[in-house]
Every structure is written in structure tokens, then in C-alpha cells.
Amino acid sequence: MKIRLTFKDPDVLYEGDLERQVRAGLPEGLSEEEVELLQEKREDATRDLISRRWMEHGEYLTVEVDTEAETIRVVGRGEKP
């Protein structure tokens, strides 16, 4: 059986975890100004991608659970059941 569940978290794209992960992926040796500019650009691009592809209004995420295969996947925005 496949079931879809929608989760709401209005803060997930704008709080610490995304920021920490983006910062961890930045190259070393940059000035603090370069770090801030690059981090802001990458965070914005990441939020845009996530919102455009998977999170409705930047806060609703739908997953599909397949109980027979014992898998779970993120459902794309606008994807029909």
C-alpha cells in the first residue's frame, strides 16, 4: 500500500540547519566578507530549489510511504498520486 503524508514546518528553510550545512560546504581561505556573500547566495539558491521542486509555499513537504517495499520518498510539487 502507498500512502502520502504532508508535513508542515514553516521555519525549516530559514533556521540553523540549512545555514550550518551551507557554511560547512564553503571553501576554506575566504575572507569573512566572501564567506557571508557566498553563503547568502548558496542559501538563497538552495531554498529556491527546495521550494520550487518539493516544498509547497516553502513549508509543506509531502512524502509517499510504500508499506510493501518499505520505502519512503519525497513527492515532487504538483505530482499526481
pLDDT of amino acid 24: 92
DSSP state of 67: T
List, run by run, the mean pLDDT of 10-residue segments along the chain (81 residues): 93 82 93 95 94 91 97 94 79
Which residue segment(s) compose the domain that 55 sits in? 2-74
Contacts of 1 (CB under 8 A, 6+ apart): 66, 67, 68
Per DSSP (E only), the strands in 1-81 are 2-8, 55-56, 60-66, 71-74
- Give pLDDT, residue 54: 95
pTM of the shown model: 0.79
Rounded to whole angstroms, the Cα distance separating 23 from 19 reads 6
pLDDT at 58: 83
- With respect to residue 60, please indicate whether it lies within any of the assigned structural domains: yes
10 is a domain residue: yes
Number of helices and strands in the chain (H, E): 2, 4
* 79 assigned to some structural domain: no
Q: How many domains does the chain divide into?
A: 1
* 50 found inside a domain: yes
Determine, yes or no, domain membership for 34: yes
